[in-house]
Amino acid sequence: MLNKKSVDDINVKGKKVLVRCDFNVPLQDGKITDENRLVAALPTIKKLIADGGKVILCSHLGKPKGEPKPELSLAPVAKRLAELLGQEVKFAADPEVVGPNAKAAVEAMKDGEVVLIENTRYRAEETKNGEAFSKELASLADVFVNDAFGTAHRAHCSNVGVTQFIDTAVVGYLMQKEIDFLGNAVNNPERPFVAILGGSKVSSKISVIKNLLDKVDTLIIGGGMSFTFAKAKGQEIGKSLVEEDFLEYSKEMIEKAKAKGVKLLLPVDTVASKEFSNDAPFRVVEGSLAADEMGLDIGPKTQILYADALKDAKTVVWNGPMGVFEMSNFAAGTVAVAKALAEIDATTIIGGGDSAAAVNILGYGDKMTHISTGGGASLEFLEGKELPGVVAANDK
């Protein structure tokens, strides 16, 4: 459990409360195409409204790189949030984020009202954790709530800097939920504890593998990263994704797993093609691939092996697809893992990013115990790192 202060521990009646949310949602032609992050932010916002706070929301959206870009304005978020909350969300459209509109809107607020200020990344200082912008944000409010797990692994003005200039800083319900689920899984899991890692590269998940090998009973590896392990074991992998610099590391991890008695599962068959294309012919290969082939998904025997390994699990953490799931011919491995997770009686935690998208697209979202709203943040959490956004919100 996160034994830190949350929105339950403070009295916000009549106070101006600045809430850092993660409204970094995908947009297409000004329309929000996935509103999960908005829905996930509602419990904290509703609680603060019910308690009579003046709720000032802020977030980044995309990467405007310090310049006001109309296509990355939070205006569509204000509109949709108002519908979801059933009350007005006043949008303060200042290119400088904390400008005359924001100040006037905040000044005019009554208890229980909601204002959303503009994309914090319109300001170049935001991602540099600059003091001036941190102070401007803090000047809007009496209390700060960090509910943006998706950016908790970054030290920016709107989640870290701001806390230095405001007396009270706490975490919101979403942040608390994320940390509780991920924290319990990693530090106090009901066993057997199984981790599934996939995605493209070993290099981006080195510290996760290392950290999890000290915790899990079984580690399942799939996706592009499995070929570096396969090559390290002496298998021919053709043109598959490989990181030569990590062959030694992969060997060490195989040894470490053995020494610790952790079951390390690697694919026993592969769906391979000569081209990185959904239109090219493909075949299932057991063992070594031909020199002109690349592995793009786990094969059917591996699907069964992995589903079997998950059957008795009591806690599972999953990060990264089993293959190039964006192409329908190479999505079956990822679908099989999602299905296996949906069917078991265990605490199932999906670590954001591609695996969260896959689970949601496949319609298994409500079958999982927790789907993290932060891909990068949940990975860093699984690495055993302290997240700056969490530390700052609880340093008071």
Q: Which residues bind ligand AMP (CB under 6 A)?
A: 199-201, 204, 223-224, 241, 295-296, 320-321, 323-324, 326, 353-354
Cβ-contact 115, 102 below 8 angstroms: yes
- Shortest Cβ distance from residue 339 to ligand AMP (Å)? 18
24 annotated to a ligand binding site: yes
- Shortest Cβ distance from residue 354 to ligand AMP (Å)? 5
Nearer to ligand AMP, 144 or 229 (CB): 229
Q: Going by C-beta distance under 8 Å and a sequence separation of 6 or more, which residues neighbour residue 156? A: 60, 120, 126, 127, 129
Reply yes or no on whether 20 is catalytic. Answer: no
First to last CA, the chain: 18
154 annotated to a ligand binding site: yes
In the set 4, 37, 215, 239, the catalytic residue is 37
- Shortest Cβ distance from residue 380 to ligand AMP (Å)? 14
Residue 170 bridge partners (DSSP): 145
Closest C-alpha among 191, 190, 196, 217 to residue 338: 196
22 annotated to a ligand binding site: yes
Nearer to ligand AMP, 102 or 242 (CB): 242
Q: How many residues does the structure list for the chain? A: 396
Residue 221 bridge partners (DSSP): 197
Nearer to ligand AMP, 201 or 251 (CB): 201
Alpha-carbon distance of 373 to 252, in angstroms, equals: 32
Shortest Cβ contact with ligand AMP: which residue? 199
Q: Any idea which residue has 């509602």 for tokens?
A: 42
Three-state DSSP class for residue 82: helix
Nearer to ligand AMP, 200 or 288 (CB): 200
In the set 201, 274, 301, 339, the catalytic residue is 201
- Shortest Cβ distance from residue 223 to ligand AMP (Å)? 4
Reply yes or no on whether 30 is catalytic. Answer: no
277 annotated to a ligand binding site: no
In the set 52, 99, 130, 376, the catalytic residue is 376
295 annotated to a ligand binding site: yes
Q: Going by C-beta distance under 8 Å and a sequence separation of 6 or more, which residues neighbour residue 201? A: 224, 225, 241, 243
Residue 104 token pair: 């006037």
Reply yes or no on whether 353 is catalytic. Answer: yes
Reply yes or no on whether 37 is catalytic. Answer: yes
Nearer to ligand AMP, 53 or 320 (CB): 320
Q: Any idea which residue has 């008695």 for tokens?
A: 261
Cα–Cα distances (Å) from 279 to 152, 276, 334, 381, in that order, read 40, 9, 19, 38
Residue 99 token pair: 């400008």
282 annotated to a ligand binding site: no
- Shortest Cβ distance from residue 165 to ligand AMP (Å)? 35
- H or E element in which residue 283 lies: strand 282-286
Annotated binding residues for substrate: 22-24, 37, 60-63, 121, 154
Binding-site members are 22-24, 37, 60-63, 121, 154, 205, 295, 326, 352-355
Residues with a catalytic annotation lie at 37, 201, 353, 376
- Sequence ranges of the binding site for (2R)-3-phosphoglycerate: 37, 121, 154
Which residue numbers belong to the known binding site for ATP? 205, 295, 326, 352-355
